[in-house]
Structure 1
Amino acid sequence: MSASPAGRVPQTLATAEAARDVTADLLLIPVWKRDDAGAELAALDSAAGGVFARLRSRGDLTGKAGECVVLPDLPNVAADRAVCVGLGEPGELSRAVWAKAIRTGVRKATGKADRTVAALLTKEVAEAVGLRNAAEELASAAVIAGAGPGLYKKEPKRFPLQSLTAVLSDTADVQPAEDSLERGAKIGAAVNLARELVDRPAEDIYPESVADRAAAFAADIGLGCEVLGQEELEAERCGSLLAVNRGSSRPPRVVVLSHLKGGDGPTLALVGKGVTFDSGGLSLKPNEGMKDMKCDMAGSAAVLGAMAAIAGLNLPVNVVGYAGLVENMVAGNSYKLGDVLQTRQGTTVEVLNTDAEGRLVLADVLDMAVTGGSWAKPADRIVDLATLTGACVVALGEGVVGGFPGVNSDGTEEWWAEVQAAFEASGEEVWRMPMSDSFKSLLDSEVADVKNVGPRYGGAVTAAKFLEHFVGTVPWVHLDIAGPAFRDKSGADMASGGTGVGVRTLVKLAEAFGK
C-alpha cells in the first residue's frame, strides 16, 4: 500500500476561455430542466449548429437531475466529446444535487487512463451553489470518480484523470475557482483514502497495517502521530478494547493524529471505530452478515481521511483524531458472553453479545479523548463515527447518517447544532435521533455497572446511550454511519464499496471550529 494519503490527483486549473475552444477529451455541460438554455449553453449551441436545441425538441435532452446525455462529436467544439449533465429545476439546485450530478458526468471519462476533462461552470450554477462550493465539488468529484474498488484487478475499470479544467465566463472568477479546485482535490483525495482503507480486505488492513499507513502519511504531511500498542493499552487500562481484540492473532492499536494549529484555542477530538474485521466473535455472524465486515473500520477511515485533509488544507485549528483499531475474531481466548469488563474509565460492563463490540472499543477511546494524555490535552468537543448498528440502517436506510446528540453541561444542544450545520455545508445527509433518558435504564445490569446491549428494539439509541457513559460532560455527538459507509452495488455517481462518508463533514466542522 502506498504511504500517500492522496494517491494520484489530476492537475486542476480554471479558464475564462470560450467553452467551444477548450481542448479536452470530455466537456461536461450542465443543463437545466427548462427551455431557456442560459447564456453559456446558448453560445455553445450556436457554435455547434443548434444541436442542443434539436435534442431538446425531440425530448432527448430534458435536464432532469442526474440525467447524462453523451454526445460523441460536437461540430466546431474543440473537446472530443461532451456529456450533458442534468441539474433539474434551477430553484432546486443544492450543493448535494450539484455534487451528485457532476460525479455522474465525470465518471464517463474515467474508464480509460490519462483522460482530460473540462467542465462548464455557468454563472447560474455559481449563483445557486456558490462559485467556490461549485468548484470545490467539481474537483472533489473528479478525484473520487477516478478511483474504484477494483484494487486487485489485473485490468482496472477506473483511472485517475490527467487534468481538470473549470470553464468560467468571467476572468474575475478564475483565481477563486482555482483556489477552490485545489481545495476540492485535497478533500477528494482524503475521501479516497477513507474509501481505499475500507475497500482493502482484512488480509491487508488490520490494526498494525493501518497504524503503519497512518504514521507514514502523517510524517509526509506534518501531522503529529502517536501509536499505542498492546503494552501501552494495557498500561492505559483499556480493558474493554483489549477484550474485543483478544481472539485475534493481530495485536491492537490506537492511532492518535494531532493537528495543532489553533494556538491556545479549544481542541476538537474526532474518534473512529476501527474494527478492521468483525466476525461477531462468539456471537458469530452468518455468512451474509460477515462477508462485508472489512467495512467495520469505516469510522476510523473517515477520521484518518479527515485528518489528512485538515493538515493538507492547513486549517488554523486544534484537532486530534483517534482511531481505535482491533479485530473481533474467534479463538480459545475470545471474550465471552457473561464476562465483566473493566473499562479505562472504571465503569464495568457485562457482555451479553460479543457482536456489539464497536461500543466496547469506543468506550476506552472516548475516555482517552476526554482525559487526554501524553498524546494530547483533553478534548473540548468530541464527535465519534462508527458503523455501530444495523438498527440504524433499519431506521434510516442506507443513505443517511444517524446523529445522536449529547446534552451539554448547560443543558443545551449547541454542539449538535454545529455538527448539523457542518453536514448541511458538506452536502452529506444526517438525521437527528432521540436520546431520551428512558433508554438509559434498558442497559441496567444486575452484575455490573452497565450491560453492552439492551433489548431488541431501539438498538441504535441504546448503543448511543451506552457511549454516553464515557464522555462525561464534554459536548459530544455520536454518528452512526452503518448505512451510508458502504455500497453493495455501483451507482451512476459512485462505485461500490467504501464511500468515505463523514470526511467532508468533519473537514467542514473543523473549519468552523477554528473560527
Structure 2
Amino acid sequence: MARSPLPSVPSRLIDVEVADRARRKAPEALVATEGAVPADVPAETTFTGKEGEVRLLGETDGPQWVVGVGEGGDPRHFRAAGAAFVRAAHSYADAEADSGGRPPLTVQVRLPESAGAADYAAFATGLLLGGYRYRVTSSDEPTRVRTVRLLVSEGEAVDEYAAEVRRAEELAKATALARDLANTPSNVKSPDWLARTAEQVADVPNLSVTVRDEAWLAERRFGGILAVGGGSTNPPRLVELEYRPRKATAHVLLVGKGITFDSGGLSLKPAAGMHLMRTDMSGGGAVIAAVRAIAALKLDVRVTGLVSAAENHVSGSSYRPGDVVRHYGGRTTQVENTDAEGRMVLADALAYGIETYRPDVVVDVATLTGAMKVALGLRTGGLFATDDALADSLRAAGEAVGERWWRMPLSEEHADAVRADLADVRQCPPGPGGITAALFLREFTEGLPWAHLDIAGPARAEGTYDEVVAGGTGFGARTLVEFVASYGR
C-alpha cells in the first residue's frame, strides 16, 4: 500500500539536550551578543552578533558556526537566535548529504556565560519551532539535524537548566501541534477528522476526550453549530476535552472555534483568499494543543476544553441571512451574514460549557474578525475581557512565552446594538467589527469572568520570522498553557 503523503500528527520535533560535557566530533556553535565577537572566530569573518545572524566558519579546529543574539537581554532575542541557527544547521546537513558528505545529526551550542535558565529555554523554543516543517509531498524528506545539545559550564545547575528546557519543549510541542492541525488541508480535515485527531493525541494521564456527533447536537438543540454545519456533507462535531488532576485548585473553561473550512456560506467569500481558510480552526487547534500540554505538565488546575467543529459550506441546506437560530440554552440569534459563522458556533459552546461545567473562568479563542487584522496587524492578538485581573494575567502569560496581545475595549455604547428585532440578539451588530463580535459573545457568558482572544491576524503567517514559519503559526496555544499555569499558583 502506498505511503500517505500527509505528515504525521503531531509532527516530530528535534531533540534538545542539556549537558555540561561536549560530545566528541559533534560540530559546535558559539552564541555571542552584539559587539562581543568570540576569540575563536577567524579575523576575516564578517560577524556583528546582531539578532539572528548566523555565520558558517567552515572547516576549523574550533566552532563550526557563530550565532548572534543581539543585545541578549530579552528571551525573544534567544528565541530568534535559536530559530535562525536551527534553520542554518538543517540547510548545512542537507547540503552535506546532497554532496555525498556525512551530515551531522547532532550539533552542540554554547550560549554566552551570562545566559540563565530562562535564556536556555527561550533558545530551545527557537530551535524546536524555527525548524518546523509541514509539506504534503511524496518526495523524500530533506536531511535534517536530529539533536541539538546545549552546553553549560561545569558546575552550573544542569538539572535546573534541563527542567526549564523540558518545560519549553512541552510548550513548543503545543504550538507545533496547533500548527499541524491548522496546516492540514481541508479535504482531509473534516470536523470528524479534527475530533478523531484530538482523541489520538490525548495520550497523557488524566486527560479524556469525548466527541459529540450531529445527532447528539440536534437532540440538545445546538442550533448555532448545526446551522453553520448544515450546508456540508461533513457533519459538525463538538469536541470535549477534560483534564482532571487529583488536586485541582480551580476550574478553567477554554472554548475554541473549529471551522475546518470556511467558504463564507451563502455570504460567499472572495475567491482570492478562500484557499487559506483551512486555518479557520486555529482557535480550536490552540485549545486542543493547550489542554494536552497542560495535562502533560501536570498542572494543578482542572481544565475543560470545548471545540465547536463545523464546515461552513454552500448548498441547498445552508443557513441563510435572515434566519433565526436557537442556540443551546434557548437564546435566539438573528442571522445577517453567514460568513460570521465563528460567533454562531462559539455561542453554543459557551452556553453549554458554562451550564454543564460551572467553571471559575472562561476564555475563548478564535480567528473571528477581519477587523482585528486591520486594527492590530498580523503579529498581535486582540484581547477582550470583562475582568481587569484576567486581562492582565493573559497579557502577562503571552509576554512570558513570546505571544503579544493588545487589550481592546468592550465599549458599552455598542451594547444595545447587539439587540435584534426578530430574535434576542443579532449576529452582526453595526459598529466596530471586532468589538461588536466580542459583545455578541458576551451575551452567552452568564456574567462569569470571561476573556475573548481574537487571533485572526497572527494565526497565519505569510513568511518566516523569528520562530514562526509560513503557514499556521499555532499562536495562542502557549499563552493558554502559561495562563492556566499562573492561574493555579
Same fold (TM over 0.5): yes
Structure 1 residue matching 2:188: 3-state secondary structure: coil
Q: Determine which of 135, 139, 144 is the counterpart of 1:154.
A: 139
**C-alpha displacement at 1:13, in angstroms?**
2.2
**C-alpha displacement at 1:96, in angstroms?**
2.1
**In structure 1, distance between residues paired with 2:142 and 2:341:** 35
2:359 match? 379
**C-alpha displacement at 1:190, in angstroms?**
1.9
| 1:243/1:335 contact within 8 Å kept | yes
2:98 match? none
**C-alpha displacement at 1:233, in angstroms?**
1.2
Per mean C-alpha deviation after superposition, the further-off stretch among 303-312 and 240-249 is 303-312
| 1:335/1:354 contact within 8 Å kept | yes
2:56 match? 70
Q: Determine which of 411, 424, 436 is the counterpart of 2:411.
A: 436
Task: Please give the residue correspondences for 1:161-176 in structure 2 after superposition, counting only pairs within 5 Å.
Answer: 161-176=145-160
- Please state if 1:472 is matched with 2:425: no
**In structure 1, distance between residues paired with 2:120 and 2:296:** 18
**In structure 2, distance between residues paired with 1:194 and 1:480:** 16
- Please state if 1:414 is matched with 2:404: no
| 2:206/2:245 contact within 8 Å kept | no
**C-alpha displacement at 1:70, in angstroms?**
2.6
2:106 match? 116
1:221-274 deviation digits (Å, cap 9, x = unpaired) = 551111111111122221111100000101111111111116352201111100
Which letter does structure 2 place at the counterpart of 1:249?
Answer: T
Task: Please give the residue correspondences for 1:72-471 in structure 2 after superposition, counting only pairs within 5 Å.
Answer: 72-73=58-59, 75-77=60-62, 81-82=64-65, 84-90=66-72, 93-111=73-91, 112=93, 115-126=105-116, 131=117, 133-152=118-137, 154-156=139-141, 159=144, 161-219=145-203, 222-261=206-245, 263-372=247-356, 377-407=357-387, 413-455=388-430, 457-471=431-445
Structure 2 residue matching 1:306: 3-state secondary structure: helix
Change (3 A) 1:264 1:500: closer
Which letter does structure 2 place at the counterpart of 1:24?
Answer: A
**In structure 1, distance between residues paired with 2:140 and 2:464:** 18
Change (3 A) 1:67 1:117: same
**In structure 1, distance between residues paired with 2:219 and 2:249:** 30
| 2:85/2:127 contact within 8 Å kept | no
| 1:206/1:250 contact within 8 Å kept | yes
**C-alpha displacement at 1:493, in angstroms?**
4.2
Which letter does structure 1 place at the counterpart of 2:31?
Answer: P
Aligned length: 475
**In structure 2, distance between residues paired with 1:415 and 1:437:** 19
**In structure 1, distance between residues paired with 2:162 and 2:400:** 20
**In structure 1, distance between residues paired with 2:222 and 2:432:** 28
**C-alpha displacement at 1:173, in angstroms?**
2.3
**In structure 2, distance between residues paired with 1:279 and 1:4:** 26
**C-alpha displacement at 1:134, in angstroms?**
2.2
| 1:148/1:157 contact within 8 Å kept | no
Structure 1 residue matching 2:31: 3-state secondary structure: strand
**C-alpha displacement at 1:54, in angstroms?**
4.7
Query: In percent, how many aligned pairs have the same letter?
Result: 35
1:260-310 deviation digits (Å, cap 9, x = unpaired) = 116352201111100000000000001113110000000011111111211
Structure 2 residue matching 1:276: 3-state secondary structure: strand
Which letter does structure 2 place at the counterpart of 1:446?
Answer: D
Which letter does structure 1 place at the counterpart of 2:129?
Answer: I
Using structure 1 for the length normalisation, give the TM-score.
0.87
| 2:125/2:467 contact within 8 Å kept | no
1:24 match? 26
| 2:81/2:126 contact within 8 Å kept | no
Structure 2 residue matching 1:462: 3-state secondary structure: helix
**In structure 2, distance between residues paired with 1:22 and 1:467:** 58
**C-alpha displacement at 1:498, in angstroms?**
0.7
1:378-437 deviation digits (Å, cap 9, x = unpaired) = 211111110001110000000001111124xxxxx2211111111121121000111111
1:410 match? none
Change (3 A) 1:23 1:184: farther
Per mean C-alpha deviation after superposition, the further-off stretch among 98-107 and 474-483 is 98-107
Per mean C-alpha deviation after superposition, the further-off stretch among 150-159 and 215-224 is 150-159
**In structure 2, distance between residues paired with 1:277 and 1:106:** 32
Which letter does structure 1 place at the counterpart of 2:428?
Answer: V
**In structure 1, distance between residues paired with 2:451 and 2:435:** 13
**C-alpha displacement at 1:206, in angstroms?**
1.2
2:459 match? 485
Change (3 A) 1:6 1:143: farther
| 2:265/2:314 contact within 8 Å kept | yes
| 1:5/1:308 contact within 8 Å kept | no
**In structure 2, distance between residues paired with 1:336 and 1:158:** 50
Change (3 A) 1:388 1:10: same
Structure 2 residue matching 1:395: 3-state secondary structure: helix
**In structure 2, distance between residues paired with 1:380 and 1:298:** 24
**In structure 2, distance between residues paired with 1:263 and 1:14:** 31
**In structure 1, distance between residues paired with 2:138 and 2:30:** 32
Change (3 A) 1:183 1:296: same
**In structure 1, distance between residues paired with 2:136 and 2:206:** 27
2:477 match? 503
Alignment root-mean-square deviation, CA = 2.2
- Please state if 1:14 is matched with 2:15: no
Structure 2 residue matching 1:107: 3-state secondary structure: helix
Structure 1 residue matching 2:299: 3-state secondary structure: coil
Q: Any unmatched runs of 5+ in structure 2?
A: 95-103
**C-alpha displacement at 1:466, in angstroms?**
0.7
**In structure 1, distance between residues paired with 2:130 and 2:107:** 12
Per mean C-alpha deviation after superposition, the further-off stretch among 256-265 and 444-453 is 256-265
**In structure 2, distance between residues paired with 1:10 and 1:434:** 41
Structure 2 residue matching 1:263: 3-state secondary structure: coil
2:34 match? 33
